[in-house]
C-alpha cells in the first residue's frame, strides 16, 4: 500500500502549471492513498482533489480550512477559492470527520485535522491528515494543536485492521516539542497512550536527502531558505502479524517537471505492508 502526503501550495505561482506537475508526479507514483495540504476548491467544478482523483481513478474528499480570509489576504486574486485538506483513495471512504485545531487570537487561521476511515481489501485504515500553524515562533500553538489531533487519533484510530496513519505538514523539525508529543516515546504522549512512529526516522535510507522544505527549491530559496524535514508520515505500531508495517519511505516531487516545480514542498512517500506479515 502506497501512501503519499504533500503540501501543494494552494494557488500560488501559476497554479495550473503546477497542478499538471503534481499530477505527473502522482501518476508516476501510482499511490493508493494521497493526503494533500493547501488543496483548493471554488465550491463548484474547480476542485484540485476532485480533478486529481478523476485523472488518477481515485475517490476524493476535500475539507476547507476555517478562516479563508486569512489566506485570501496572501493571495487576493484567489478569493473565489477555499484552501484546505484533501484525501484521495483507491478504496471507499467509510467515515469522515473534520476537527478544528486550537489557536489563540491572531494566530488562528482556521487549521483543521481531517480523519477518514478507508475500507481497504485487508480491512479499515484509520487515516488522519493536518497542517499546523507555520510561523517558526508558534511552537506552543502547534503543541496545543498536536494535543487536539492526538485526542482525535486516540478516539478514532483504535480497533481497526491497520494502525492509525497520521500525515501532513507539521511545520516542525523532527526534534521539536510538538513532534515529540506525537511520538509518545521521548516525552509524555499528546493524548492517552498515543504512540506514533516517524516512518522516515525508522525506515528511510540514512543517506537519502530528507528535507521536504528544501532551499534547492526556487520557491523556498527566495523566501525562507532553510532546508528542513517538516512533512511526515507517522504510523502506529501494527502489532504482531497485522498489516501496516512500513517497508520504505522516500521523497518525491523534489525537482522540476518540464521546467516547473510542483510545489514549495516535496512529497513524502511511504509503502506499507498491505497484508498481515510475520513478526
Quick one: angle between helices 48-56 and 15-29, nearest 10? Answer: 40
| 41 in any annotated domain | yes
DSSP string, 77-137: GGTT-EEEEEEEESS-EEEEEEEE----GGG-S--EEEEEEEEETTEEEEEEEEE----TT
Q: What is the pLDDT of residue 277?
A: 60
- Supply the CATH number for residue 213's domain: 3.60.10.10
Count of structural domains, the chain: 1
Residue 278 lies in a domain: no
The confidence score (pLDDT) of residue 103 equals 94
pLDDT digits (tens, 9 = 90+) for 3-19: 999 999 999 999 999 99
The H-assigned helical ranges of 214-260 are 218-221
Phi, psi of 219 (to 5 degrees): -65, -35
Q: Is residue 279 part of a domain?
A: no
pTM: 0.96
How far apart (Å, rounded) are the C-alpha atoms in residues 90 and 80? 29
Residue 12 lies in a domain: yes
Domain that holds residue 252: 2-272
Q: What is the pLDDT of residues 130-186, one digit of tens each?
A: 999 999 999 999 999 999 999 999 999 999 999 999 999 999 999 999 999 998 888
CA 231/CA 222 separation, integer angstroms = 20
Q: Is residue 277 part of a domain?
A: no
Whether 108 and 135 have beta carbons less than 8 Å apart is answered as no
Amino acid at each position: 500500500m502506497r501512501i503519499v502526503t504533500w503540501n501543494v501550495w494552494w494557488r500560488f505561482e501559476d497554479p495550473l502549471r503546477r497542478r499538471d506537475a503534481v499530477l505527473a508526479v502522482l501518476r508516476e507514483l501510482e499511490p493508493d492513498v494521497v493526503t494533500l495540504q493547501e488543496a483548493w476548491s471554488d465550491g463548484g467544478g474547480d476542485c484540485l482533489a476532485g480533478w486529481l482523483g478523476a485523472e488518477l481513478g481515485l475517490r476524493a474528499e476535500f475539507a476547507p480550512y476555517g478562516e479563508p480570509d486569512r489566506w485570501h489576504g496572501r493571495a487576493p486574486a484567489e478569493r473565489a477559492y477555499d484552501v484546505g485538506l484533501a484525501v484521495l483513495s483507491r478504496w471507499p471512504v467509510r467515515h469522515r470527520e473534520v476537527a478544528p485545531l486550537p489557536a489563540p487570537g491572531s494566530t488562528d487561521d482556521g487549521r483543521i485535522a481531517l480523519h477518514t476511515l478507508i475500507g481497504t481489501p485487508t480491512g479499515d485504515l484509520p487515516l488522519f491528515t493536518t497542517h499546523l500553524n507555520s510561523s517558526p515562533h508558534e511552537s506552543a500553538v502547534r503543541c496545543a494543536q498536536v494535543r487536539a489531533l492526538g485526542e482525535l487519533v486516540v478516539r478514532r484510530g483504535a480497533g481497526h485492521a491497520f494502525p492509525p496513519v497520521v500525515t501532513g505538514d507539521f511545520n516542525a523539525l523532527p526534534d521539536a516539542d510538538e513532534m515529540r508529543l506525537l511520538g509518545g516515546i521521548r516525552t509524555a504522549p499528546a493524548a492517552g497512550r498515543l504512540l506514533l512512529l516517524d516512518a522516515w526516522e525508522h525506515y528511510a535510507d540514512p543517506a537519502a536527502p530528507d528535507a521536504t522544505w528544501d532551499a534547492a527549491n526556487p520557491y523556498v530559496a527566495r523566501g525562507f531558505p532553510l532546508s528542513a524535514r517538516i512533512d511526515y508520515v507517522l504510523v502506529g505500531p501494527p502489532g504482531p502479524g497485522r498489516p501496516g508495517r512500513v517497508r520504505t519511505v522516500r521523497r518525491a516531487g523534489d525537482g522540476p517537471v518540464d521546467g516547473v516545480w510542483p510545489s514549495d514542498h516535496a512529497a513524502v512517500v511511504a509503502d506499507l505492508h498491505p497484508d498481515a506479515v510475520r513478526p
